[in-house]
Chains A and B, each alone.
Chain A
């Protein structure tokens, strides 16, 4: 008691106490926020493991479950934890009676029937996890086809982006020329440009090239650099000491060799971070695949999943299973590269 009495003046009266109080409140708020973040994800996973009957009858529990049942005289009845005469027992509910009542019976002695209020008794459940939703979901839609398309768009596009943006960022970071600064400003200004203003002519261009309904419109433009990634790479290239370039030049290296053997190896963290951001952007992108891909064999996961939902929205368990599969790669990547995220994100949080 004395300790508690000493604690309060410490908590409210000293600098250390204030700090403790402040940190405690901060942690509580953060924990509450973390629950808000995690519960939807838990709901996603739990729904992906329920069968349609569970979703209909028991949609809003986070643990996939079924009522426990027992067999009496060849019939199945739901089990309840009931309280009779102050003693808690497991009993089966035989049938409902008027007035919110029901007949309960102990499976061990089926002749004693008790009439009790239903909502005063707790139904008993058992865990009932439907892993088979996952294989079923993979066959309910051409999942691997969608996955293949998504991977092609993501990784070929990433290669093109890294190739072109490295060249362009190198041009903007290591050379002096009259128009380069102006061109760099022009490049930066395209960040503000709403993509809709070029979308329709691009669609028509790709249609005339015969590229609509192929993956090319999503891939080819990546080979021509983009403002975000050029900006990030250029900022990083500028931090690499010029002395390294000069040493290589004295050894007779041409500018391309300087890029390949000096700059790029030094810039690996920046390249990895723009690569990761490109992965997230391309993996999650919906707008452009929706516009350019028209038939199912060309769809990416994002479009395929949305269309599956639009047609078979009743199959919530399968849709959530595929949704879980779709968010796993970004999350795994995220956990393996957290440091890069928090470092590179200042520039790239805007992408997509």
Chain B
């Protein structure tokens, strides 16, 4: 027996070494393209750095620029008291968009997934059609939507006026009060991306659960609330977390729709757009790094919050207790 032990050890060792060897590409990439840059941007966030001159250490000044003037603002209500009113404006725009887009997206895509999970005629054709917008998302589709939403040349407002009888349809992207809802509308057109994830989740629900519920005399509505919905909460949760993170990184559509300005009147100055402007328009790399780290912390906090709260409402299969 003892004769074999060293040999076995070396086998295990060789296996471990081979395992590490195969993941080397990721380890190198992680060090060069992830951890290294993360630490560097943390350092830059404490500097004044315009790319041409070497970074100059300024301590907490970038952070002070974000957070100063908050008490004065609350006292006077005057945004000019804030160290950087545009930072808060961009945060507000992003949260406003999230508060509209996330719930609407969630409800609509879940609803569509339930419909597309029925045995209706031509269901594969319907699925294909609804999924289509999410594979062509980006510049071309945004350029199309700018034109659809155009109050004079578009097709949405004539429809609202002539078919739905709405007297003064909004100016959409040209009206500061309607520009964010316009972007929400655009995002809802691509709802098929999350719809397909719900659909996969629905198809993963074991049919014997429904059979058991039927035996117990549950009607369709009760089956939905007591089987479908609890079984789907992990997927809802997953889409919620990623949707929230996605909103803070929202960029292409608003950049294309406003030519990178965040207009009209900065009403669509999203967080990520303002970060981009600081970095690549004003070359204020230090301040942009500060914004990136604040974004990182916000995303971490929100993710942790959802993970925390998920105990109360997410049902995982194999868990003994029922839905909370």
Question: Which A residues are closer than 8 A to B by beta carbons?
Answer: 22-23, 26-27, 29-30, 33-34, 36-41, 43-44, 47, 55-56, 59-60, 62, 164, 167-168, 170-172, 174-180, 183, 186-187, 190, 192-205, 207, 221, 223-225, 230, 255, 259, 280, 284-287, 290-291, 301-303, 305-306, 309-310, 316, 319-320, 322-324, 326-327, 330-331, 334-335, 338, 341-342, 345-346, 349-350
Contact = CB atoms under 8 A, between A and B. Distances in A.
Nearest to A163: B25
Interface in B182-208: 189, 192-194, 196-197, 199-201
B140 A326 contact: yes
A302 B34 contact: no
Top-3 shortest CB links A-B: A224-B29, A175-B19, A171-B22
Contacts of A170: 22
Q: Which of A62, A187, A200, A349 has the most CB of B within 10 A?
A: A200
Contacts of A193: 34, 38, 296
A93 to B, nearest CB: 23
Query: Do most interface residues of chain A lie in helix, strand or loop, or is the interface mixed?
Result: helix
Contacts of A194: 245, 248-249, 292, 295-296, 299
Contacts of B1: none
Interface in B72-121: 112, 115-116, 118-121
A346 B197 contact: yes
A164 B128 CA distance: 31
Contact of B196 (A207, A280, A349): A349
A309 B256 contact: yes
Contacts of A22: 118
Interface in B1-40: 12, 15-30, 32-34, 36-38, 40
Given A194-B248, A302-B139, A350-B242, A40 B256 contact: no
B189 A37 contact: yes
Nearest to B285: A200
B213 interface: no
Contact of B15 (A44, A175, A192, A201): A175
25 contacts: A26-B115, A34-B126, A37-B129, A38-B129, A43-B147, A60-B155, A164-B25, A171-B19, A171-B21, A172-B23, A175-B15, A180-B20, A192-B300, A197-B292, A197-B296, A198-B41, A204-B285, A205-B32, A221-B29, A230-B26, A286-B138, A286-B251, A286-B255, A323-B144, A342-B196
Given A36-B189, A323-B143, A341-B131, 14 more contacts: A40-B148, A171-B20, A172-B23, A177-B20, A187-B30, A197-B37, A197-B38, A200-B279, A224-B32, A284-B136, A290-B255, A302-B138, A305-B140, A316-B153
A204 B54 CA distance: 11
Chain B interface bracket (under 10, 10 to 19, 20 to 34, 35 or more):
35 or more
Given A59-B154, A305-B143, A29 B115 contact: yes
B135 A280 contact: yes
A198 B33 contact: yes
Interface of B: 12, 15-30, 32-34, 36-38, 40-41, 44, 51, 112, 115-116, 118-121, 124, 126-141, 143-145, 147-148, 152-155, 158, 189, 192-194, 196-197, 199-201, 242, 245, 248-249, 251-252, 255-256, 259, 272, 275-276, 279-280, 285, 288-289, 291-293, 295-296, 299-300, 303
Most buried by A among B24, B37, B137, B140: B140
B295 A197 contact: yes
B26 A224 contact: yes
Given A177-B19, A198-B38, A330-B136, A320 B144 contact: yes
A56 to B, nearest CB: 8
Nearest to A283: B138
A284 B137 contact: yes
Given A43-B144, A171-B20, A196-B272, A176 B12 contact: yes
B197 A224 contact: no
A88 B187 CA distance: 47
Nearest to B112: A33
